[in-house]
Structure 1
Amino acid sequence: MQWWCSASGQPWTWAPQYYPGVWLMVAVLAMAFHSLSRRARTMGASRRAYWGGWIAVGLVWQVLDWPLGPLAAGYLASAHAVQFVVLALLAPPLLLLAVRPALVASLASPGATRSVIAALTQPIVAGVLFNVIAVTTHVPVVVDRAMPSQVGAFTVDTLWLIGGLLLWWPILVAVPERPWFSTPVRMLYLFLSTLVHTGIAMVMLVRDFPMYGIYELAPPWSAWSPLEDQHLAGGVMELAGAVVIFGIITVMFFRWSGGVSGDVPPSAPPRD
């Protein structure tokens, strides 16, 4: 029994596989979310945000566990792209929105934790870290070496989730408060921070040869060729990423232009 999904090189089978490491990670995420979200609900977090957070936990579970997890690790680049979109772009904002009031309250007082988070979530730092993670984990040699290893596959999946939380934190949590980081600047930050992953998707779409040996040489899963699967992966990253990013930018724009949200999220502490 494997503890994490990795490329096995074996022909695909629909017999269920069990990954205790995935269950443990999802259980830890669920318990942390349960604790923070309960506190956030008492502080005014909406029911919609609460259930959105649980949907995010469920999505993380689905993309890491069987069958999508092993498909992404060793058979289909398109499944790997779905993992990236969920772990880096979709689940993090849902989780942060659900627990934002609790995070703001926890970090209201100065301390070591607040200082570390403040440093890592400086918009420029967070954007750079997200893009470094996105680029590094899509370099062919990194993918080909990481996916056959349970530790390597676990590292890639975890980095995507951490990178996504860093990317979305300055926009959704705003602790510590940065008065200069207004809503228009946030929209620009989000757009610029995702250009690199869009470029990665375009490369996957236009290349006329398979980029990743791990998927090119994988046991056949369907009638798709490795190149067709790679093009589908690029399309998933491009289209799904655009829907998430520009959907949120659109909401931010109309809320800002309508004077609904202002420059500081409702849960942010008052300025000194």
Structure 2
Amino acid sequence: MWQQLNVHFGFQALWSPGFIIATIGLTGLYFWAIGKGRYRFAESEPVPLYKQILFVLGMFLFYLGYGGPLYIIGHLMFSIHMIQMIVSLLFVPPLLLLGIPKWLLKAIVMKIPFKRVLKVFAHPITAIVLFNVMFSFYHIPVIFDFLMAHKMGHDAFQTVLFIAAILMWWTIIAPVPEWNRVSELQRVGLIFLDGLLLTPACALIIFAGSPVYETFTNPVAWATALSLCLPGTQTVSPDLIEQFMLLPLLEDQRLGGVVMKVVQEVLYGSFLVYVFIQWVRREKAEEKQKQMELEKSILEKFAHE
């Protein structure tokens, strides 16, 4: 399959050199900010190596999902499209939020225009509902087929969906603790709500009795959607669909839904553990602080006597 991709699409379409440059540029800006430029930021402190690794991994997956081969292959088969969604929306945002130190996140947020409007959508319930509604809306067959055939609309929707994913993950991760408005117990409930809201879209895809997306069943629609991803005026022949459909259409569709749901459950389960660990650490820190204050008050009492 890889050889066929190279023959029919070429290096520029598969690897998006411009996206590579942009990704490297953003990564370089990050390392400048946590290195030589760190003293320009308030409350800055050295960034642990594990955070740097998480950020680099997040940027690599960001490139892979939106500019690398996975983006093109996601237009060939629905199951690969869902893998691209998993990488771009379920892995990239948390990796970036965990990789950027909170002092840098504060500086970035303060530079965002229309912060008051964004603050409304950053409300925990709103953020989670918004992401899941947009994801489900995107996968309604008529909407999906329309967006895949209209590049500007598709790119705009994908951009807003990615922002919604960041807001949703911000709620779960709470990367700036002092800005966090929900307790750990509430965050556990939000994670369960998040998984519940994604279920209908996956169920529609998994239990459909026939393929529901014209983009993958109609060779002309398939070729049109794929051509919009290629540079310049390059087009794709509808006849190529038989070479790249490695699974029967219905099995491919069901596989995409199953993979999305399974990965989502595993990932959300992992973050339940993450929230629980944060909860235990906070309780221990508060208990230690209370113990220190008690000991201090006792010493002061004896000192006055």
Residue 160 of structure 1 and its aligned partner are, at CA, apart by 3.3
Q: Distance in 1 between matches of 2:66 and 2:50?
A: 24
Q: Distance in 1 between matches of 2:64 and 2:110?
A: 36
Q: Distance in 2 between matches of 1:55 and 1:48?
A: 11
1:18 matched to 2:12? The reply is yes
Unaligned runs of 5+ in 2: 39-44, 220-240, 287-305
Equivalence map 1:32-181=2 (5 Å) = 32-36=26-30, 38-40=32-34, 43-73=45-75, 75-106=76-107, 114-170=115-171, 171-174=173-176, 177-179=179-181, 181=182
Q: Distance in 2 between matches of 1:113 and 1:176?
A: 21
Q: Provide the residue aligned with 1:197 in structure 2.
A: 198
Bigger shift: residues 157-166 or 226-235: 157-166
Residue 216 of structure 1 and its aligned partner are, at CA, apart by 1.8
Q: Distance in 1 between matches of 2:178 and 2:104?
A: 11
Q: Deviations over 1:4-40 (max 9, x none)?
A: xxxxxxxx64323424995545544543454345435
Percent sequence identity is 22
Q: Provide the residue aligned with 2:302 in structure 1.
A: none
Is contact 2:129–2:197 with CA below 8 Å preserved after alignment? Answer: no
Is contact 1:59–1:86 with CA below 8 Å preserved after alignment? Answer: yes
Residue 98 of structure 1 and its aligned partner are, at CA, apart by 1.2
TM-score (ref. length: structure 1)? 0.78
Q: Looking at both structures, which has the greater relative contact order when contacts are Cα pairs under 8 Å and sequence separation is at least 6?
A: 1
1:231 matched to 2:231? The reply is no
* Change in 2 beyond 3 A, CA 1:69/1:105: closer
Q: Deviations over 1:36-82 (max 9, x none)?
A: 45435752432112111111111121223353222212x21111101
* Change in 2 beyond 3 A, CA 1:23/1:93: farther
TM-score (ref. length: structure 2)? 0.71
* Change in 2 beyond 3 A, CA 1:135/1:176: farther
Unaligned runs of 5+ in 1: 1-11, 264-272
Residue 176 of structure 1 and its aligned partner are, at CA, apart by 7.0
Is contact 1:87–1:160 with CA below 8 Å preserved after alignment? Answer: no
Is contact 2:184–2:275 with CA below 8 Å preserved after alignment? Answer: yes
Q: Distance in 1 between matches of 2:156 and 2:285?
A: 38
CA RMSD of superposed structures (Å): 3.1
Is contact 1:88–1:163 with CA below 8 Å preserved after alignment? Answer: no
Residue 231 of structure 1 and its aligned partner are, at CA, apart by 0.9
SS at match of 1:18: helix
Bigger Rg, which one: 2
Q: Provide the residue aligned with 2:232 in structure 1.
A: none
Q: Provide the residue aligned with 1:243 in structure 2.
A: 266
Number of paired residues? 250
One-letter amino acid of the structure 1 residue matched with residue 267 of structure 2: V
* Change in 2 beyond 3 A, CA 1:14/1:36: closer
Residue 113 of structure 1 and its aligned partner are, at CA, apart by 5.3
